[in-house]
Chains A and B, each alone.
Chain A
Amino acid sequence: MRLLDFFLARRGSAPVARERLQIVLAHERALSGASGELVRLLQEEILAVVARHMRIERDMVHIKLERGASISTLEIDIQMPATTAPAH
């Protein structure tokens, strides 16, 4: 471990900074701009569809869009009410 630390220290901390920045910015860019708008739109429309069939609160639908280099994922998390009473 000591040896590894030694080599890491010799390599410098800049490559680590660069890698961390690339990851965090990829995530933050996905949340703003055009994709942020897409997430917001999806959230609204999914909420509307689900609300047609069950009573649901706005904060029970969570949508996450992650863009990776080779694969992007759209994660939709809907919390169901304890009793799924019909909306009407």
Chain B
Amino acid sequence: MQMAKVLVVTSGKGGVGKTTSAAALGAALAQTGLKVAVVDFDVGLRNLDLVMGAERRVVFDLINVIQGDAKLAQALIRDKRVESLHLLAASQTRDKDALTPEGVARVMGELRDKFDWVICDSPAGIERGATLAMRHADQAVVVTNPEVSSVRDSDRIIGLLDSKTERAEKGERMPKHLLLTRYDTGRASRGDMLKTEDVLEILSIPLLGIIPESQDVLRASNLGAPVTLNDPASAPARAYSDAARRLLGEEVPMVIPEPKRNLVQRLFGRRVA
């Protein structure tokens, strides 16, 4: 069996859409029939279970597996919508020190044997949780909002990806992809938001996708479904699906799907939040 690809979804800054992106990309990859595990590394502040609608099905978590209280198979939660999609939740009650480098290495090794893709949803910050989430990755998705603090933090995270990961320490290249989220084409064209080219020039890593700012993202998380499963025709879902196809090596033209607007919004030329 082919060994899994390990992908870390990271950003440095909080609230930019890491968990949303990890869930959406994981679901889109799983829909192609690939076996996918999405792993929440945000110990103490878990949310991936909620975003994926599995919060009431969590019995064992990553820390239980690390400490040997549960087997990996017992802790993996199979998605009810897509059969090949699995979730490994973070612990909500434990402290992040329970995440040990040796434990994470062992669990990642087991996950690699079982899955085609392992997606590590990193916590915000640059502390232990974030560095362990990226530690074993083969590639990284850097989630960035077109906004100064997010771009600065992404730059910092790119530096860590190039120095603190297993790959970097072996002197190997760490492929990184930029996922620009909460993008508002109108505001960017009026000069009130950093343009895609600005962010690309500053961070100089290749673009994986542009996810438009959309109420569909909030709606999907309210309902507990990855946005790619909740409303596959919506603008963010199409953007995430395209990004997932690019991860699989397909050439997909880079278009920014436009959110649907009603007549009033069209007349006033902007969306009402």
Q: CB within 8 Å of B: which residues of A? A: 11-15, 17-18, 20-22, 24-25, 28-29, 32-33
Residue of A nearest to B203 (CB): A25
Q: Which of B163, B195, B198 has the most CB of A within 10 A?
A: B198
Set B152, B155, B163, B195: member contacting A14, Cβ < 8 A: B195
Within 8 A of A (CB), among B153-200: 155-156, 159, 162-163, 188, 190-195, 198
Question: Would you mind naming 18 contact pairs between A and B with Cβ atoms under 8 Å apart?
Answer: A11-B191, A13-B191, A13-B192, A14-B192, A14-B193, A15-B191, A17-B147, A18-B198, A18-B202, A20-B148, A21-B148, A21-B152, A24-B152, A25-B152, A28-B152, A29-B155, A32-B156, A33-B162
**Distance in angstroms between the alpha carbons of A17 and B46 in the assembled complex:** 32
In angstroms, how far is the closest chain B Cβ from the Cβ of A1? Answer: 21
| Cβ of A73 to closest chain B Cβ, rounded Å | 22
Bound Cα distance from A33 to B202, whole angstroms: 17
User: Which B residues lie within 8 Å of A12 (CB)?
Assistant: 190-192
- A-B interface, 9 closest residue pairs, ranked by CB to CB distance from nearest: A12-B191, A18-B198, A12-B192, A14-B191, A17-B148, A14-B194, A25-B155, A32-B159, A21-B151
User: In the complex, A28→B148 CA distance in Å?
Assistant: 14
Which chain B positions have C-beta within 8 A of A29? 155, 159
Contact (Cβ within 8 A) B194 A17? yes
**A22 CB contacts on chain B under 8 angstroms:** 202
A69 CB, min distance to chain B CBs, angstroms: 14
The chain B residue with its CB closest to the CB of A12 is B191
B155 adjacent to A18 (CB under 8 Å): no
Chain B residues, CB < 8 A from A21: 148, 151-152, 202
Contacts of A24 in B (CB 8 A): 152
* Min CB gap B188→A, angstroms: 7
Task: Pick the residue among A11, A14, A33 that contacts B188 (CB under 8 A).
Answer: A14
What A residues does B162 contact at CB under 8 A?
33
A15 CA / B202 CA spacing, docked (Å): 12
The residue in chain A whose Cβ has the minimal distance to the Cβ of B148 is A17
Question: What residues of A have a CB within 8 angstroms of the CB of B155 in the complex?
Answer: 25, 28-29
Q: Chain A residues near B163 (CB, 8 Å)?
A: 33
Return chain B residues, CB-CB under 8 Å to A11: 191
Q: Bound state CA distance, A20 and B210, in angstroms?
A: 23
Cβ distance A18 to chain B, nearest Cβ, rounded Å: 5
What residues of chain B lie closer than 8 Å to A13, measured between beta carbons?
191-192
Chain B proximity of A29: nearest CB distance (Å)? 7
C-alpha spacing A47/B104, complex, angstroms: 41
Say how far B199's CB is from chain A's closest CB, in angstroms. Answer: 9
